[in-house]
């Protein structure tokens, strides 16, 4: 993977390998873990602009960060330009100099509400949202898919609109909304976006190895890559992409558990770390039995004991 710093509206990111916003997973401890393994920029879970407006406690919990994390981007979603701008100006958003706008989420309840990937069908509204968010003074980026389905590919036009509206970087997920996470990445559409704009373009989709990342860069000409689901199975994929030193899976797990315990309540720690351990044992001998034990565990101590058995 060819590493290079990326400048986003005057903000310099150390390299061009990003961690995607992943609902339910990219909390502060996980982002900190991935950054330690080499990720140049990490994103929060997607945050509802309306949730911020109405003071949702769950929404605000997603925005925890501290000085140990360093540069981080927040991703927000919504369909009202004024509410989206207000979210950018919210007190809880202050620690995040970069605000990414989600225009790619394919989840039905988001799409049906006119948010996420639904904005691909309403480019004028998408432009207004970006224009308003830029007025907040934040550096604004946009993550979007190549279209709703294979018959309606909008990548080049949409990329131009986002740049024209004031976006400082775009991330293109090379699959259509109807494919969710299945199917092949459309390299040509990402390449079309790269040719269409002058701002940096990050390619997203199908990166599970250094070879995948190199292929994505070569086929699209993108300025960098974004890693999504692969990081859930192995956060040290960032070591493979950036050359950072690796450590044992047990040490990785213990570090993540410690950081999660420091900032989350016990119930969350147990539920979340059971899920993470289940990802990490995938492909190991006896994985099914370990998973069964993990999901019966009721304390962090039990989870750690099981991890010490399977990751030794």
Question: Which residues does the annotation mark as catalytic?
Answer: 105
Q: 58 is written with which tokens?
A: 């769950």
Distance between CA 234 and CA 39 in Å, rounded? 13
Distance between CA 202 and CA 223 in Å, rounded? 6
Residue appearing with tokens 């990329």? 159
Is residue 58 a contact partner of residue 51, using CB atoms and an 8 Å limit?
A: yes
- Cα→Cα distances 72→54, 102, 196, 293, Å: 24, 16, 27, 35
């Amino acid at each position: 993977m060819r590493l290079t710093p990326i400048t986003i509206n005057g903000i310099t990111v150390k390299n061009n390998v990003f961690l995607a916003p992943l609902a339910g997973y990219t909390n502060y401890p996980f982002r900190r873990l991935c950054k330690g393994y080499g990720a140049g920029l990490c994103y929060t879970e997607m945050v509802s602009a309306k949730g911020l407006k109405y003071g949702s406690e769950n929404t605000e919990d997603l925005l925890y960060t501290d000085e140990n994390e360093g540069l981080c981007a927040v991703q927000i979603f919504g369909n009202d330009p004024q509410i989206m701008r207000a979210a950018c100006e919210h007190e809880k958003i202050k620690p995040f100099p970069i605000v990414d706008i989600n225009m790619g989420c394919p989840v039905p309840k988001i799409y049906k509400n006119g948010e996420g990937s639904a904005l691909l069908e309403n480019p004028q509204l998408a432009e207004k949202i970006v224009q308003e968010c830029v007025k907040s003074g934040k550096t604004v980026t946009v993550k979007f898919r190549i279209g709703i389905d294979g018959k309606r590919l909008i990548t080049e036009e949409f990329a131009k609109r986002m740049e024209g509206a004031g976006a400082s970087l775009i991330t293109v997920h090379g699959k259509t909304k109807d494919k969710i996470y299945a199917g092949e990445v459309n390299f040509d559409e990402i390449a079309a976006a790269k040719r269409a704009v002058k701002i940096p373009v990050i390619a997203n989709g199908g990166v599970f190895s250094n070879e995948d990342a190199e292929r994505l860069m070569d086929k699209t000409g993108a300025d960098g890559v974004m890693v999504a689901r692969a990081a859930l199975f192995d956060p040290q994929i960032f070591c493979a992409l950036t050359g950072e030193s690796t450590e044992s899976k047990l040490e990785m797990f213990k570090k993540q558990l410690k950081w999660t315990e420091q900032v989350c309540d016990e119930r969350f720690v147990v539920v979340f770390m059971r899920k993470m351990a289940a990802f990490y044992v995938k492909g190991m001998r006896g994985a099914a039995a370990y998973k069964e034990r993990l999901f019966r565990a009721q304390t962090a101590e039990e989870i750690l004991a099981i991890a010490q058995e399977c990751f030794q």
